[in-house]
């Protein structure tokens, strides 16, 4: 089992829960990193005593001064972030960075043959083919942390390749609403997710169904499945976290309370299991589980992701970059909720597709998509 971890993105929702789990399991923290929240990172450093920590240049001096009385090495810059993931004797690199910023550290960890727990779905959306090729060549296990992908990963242990993956979706904050009624929804309303306690960006993605679209692409790469072998089913209760169907018609599902600490812990203890901090399920209290078709018309980004995956090339990176930019603008109250999908769709229609030959092509596509979105505001 994992004895020590490098945790990238330790101050976000997944990062803080990963630290809770690490503490519960008695796992050593070798390094921590965060982009903006230097106060929380300092607190985490004092509690978990890593050898190193990393922060963005903007907050570097603050953190260095704050930790001057410790022997924790404070680092900054993209090269050092990648070094954190690759030059380590930790048994697991846990990547819970947000967005495209997770791509370079993911590749660095894989090239250094580090076992990788991946919560950073944008890495696989934008750079899936490069990342999976590198993982295959370096014989690196990528253990998914996203609840749906952890579910599928768990269902597939000891199994042959399935016929179909069935991704479940909560439907997000605005399930059942039509597009016209969403024109004036506020950021505050959007962030009230019915089931999951998550960061702001993913909660907005969940409300637009972009999150399920990103997860669709993530699943296609992780489990090397064709797009027509992945179904999405709305399941409002978020009790079944996803399913796999085999050729004999058998379906295996993974169930559990909607608590991210379960998939986080499984990624850390895999292939073993330990008692967890999460509440156990009580079926008699749940009573009924419901399923429905996704509403592709009022929430067009799920379908867009499916089409974009099939188009391949830089298009998933364009979609992801445009979405990151649009969601940030929405969270800063610069655009409306419906503008998010308008801008993402428009970016994929107006930027010309091309093949990905290197990681630079991905960053270029990402930048192009962001610039496109900003140019429309």
The binding site for Mg ion (CB under 5 A) comprises 146-148
172 vs 160: CA distance, rounded Å:
32
Count of other CB atoms within 10 angstroms of residue 81 = 24
- Smallest distance, Å, CB 147 to Mg ion? 5
Residue with nearest beta carbon to Mg ion = 146
Residue 280 gets the label, from left (phi > 0), alpha (psi -120 to 50) or beta, of: beta
Nearer to Mg ion among residue 108 and residue 219 (C-beta)? 219
Nearer to Mg ion among residue 86 and residue 120 (C-beta)? 120
CB 140 within 8 A of CB 233: no
Nearer to Mg ion among residue 40 and residue 191 (C-beta)? 191
Nearer to Mg ion among residue 63 and residue 202 (C-beta)? 202
- Smallest distance, Å, CB 202 to Mg ion? 8
- Smallest distance, Å, CB 93 to Mg ion? 20
Nearer to Mg ion among residue 136 and residue 291 (C-beta)? 291
Count of other CB atoms within 10 angstroms of residue 258 = 18
- Smallest distance, Å, CB 226 to Mg ion? 21
Nearer to Mg ion among residue 91 and residue 195 (C-beta)? 195
- Smallest distance, Å, CB 215 to Mg ion? 5
- Smallest distance, Å, CB 146 to Mg ion? 4
- Smallest distance, Å, CB 78 to Mg ion? 27
57 vs 53: CA distance, rounded Å:
13
The first and second tokens of residue 3, run together, are 């004895």
320 vs 317: CA distance, rounded Å:
5
Encode burial over 264-294: b for 16+ CB neighbours within 10 A, e otherwise: bbbbbbbeeeeebebeeeeeeeeeeeeeeeb
Nearer to Mg ion among residue 84 and residue 305 (C-beta)? 305
Q: With CA atoms as reference, report the closest residue to 265 among 52, 84, 27, 43.
A: 27
Q: With CA atoms as reference, report the closest residue to 94 among 213, 322, 260, 325.
A: 260
User: Is 333 exposed, middle or buried (CB count within 10 Å of its CB: 0-12, 13-18, 19+)?
Assistant: exposed
């Amino acid at each position: 089992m994992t004895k020590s971890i490098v945790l990238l993105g330790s101050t976000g929702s997944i990062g803080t829960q990963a630290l809770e789990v690490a503490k519960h399991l008695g796992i050593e923290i070798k390094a921590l990193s965060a982009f903006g929240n230097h106060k929380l990172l300092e607190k985490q450093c004092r509690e978990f005593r890593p050898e190193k920590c990393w922060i963005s240049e903007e907050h570097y001096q603050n953190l260095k001064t704050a930790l001057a009385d410790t022997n924790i090495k404070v680092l900054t810059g993209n090269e050092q972030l990648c070094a954190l993931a690759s030059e380590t004797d930790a048994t697991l690199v846990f990547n819970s960075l947000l967005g495209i910023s997770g791509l370079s550290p993911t590749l660095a960890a894989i090239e250094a043959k580090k076992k990788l727990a991946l919560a950073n779905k944008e890495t696989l959306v934008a750079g899936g083919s490069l990342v999976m090729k590198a993982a295959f060549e370096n014989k690196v296990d990528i253990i998914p942390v996203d609840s749906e992908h952890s579910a599928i990963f768990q269902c597939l242990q000891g199994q042959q390749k399935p016929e179909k993956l069935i991704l479940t979706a909560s439907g997000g904050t605005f399930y059942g609403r039509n597009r016209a009624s969403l024109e004036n929804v506020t950021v505050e309303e959007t962030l009230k997710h019915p089931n999951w306690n998550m960061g702001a960006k993913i909660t907005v993605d969940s409300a637009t169904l972009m999150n399920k679209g990103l997860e669709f692409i993530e699943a296609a790469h992780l489990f090397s499945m064709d797009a027509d072998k992945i179904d999405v089913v709305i399941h409002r209760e978020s009790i079944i976290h996803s399913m796999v169907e085999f050729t004999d018609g058998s379906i295996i599902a993974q169930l559990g309370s909607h608590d991210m600490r379960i998939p986080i812990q499984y990624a850390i203890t895999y292939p073993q299991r330990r008692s967890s901090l999460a509440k156990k399920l009580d079926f008699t209290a749940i009573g009924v589980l419901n399923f429905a078709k996704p509403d592709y018309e009022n929430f067009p980004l799920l379908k867009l992701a499916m089409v974009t995956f099939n188009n391949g090339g830089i298009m998933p990176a364009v979609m992801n970059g445009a979405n990151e930019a649009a969601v940030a603008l929405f969270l800063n109250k610069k655009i409306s909720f419906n503008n998010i999908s308008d801008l993402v769709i428009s970016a994929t229609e107006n930027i010309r597709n091309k093949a990905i030959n290197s990681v630079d092509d991905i960053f270029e596509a990402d930048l192009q998509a962001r610039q496109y979105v900003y140019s429309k505001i």
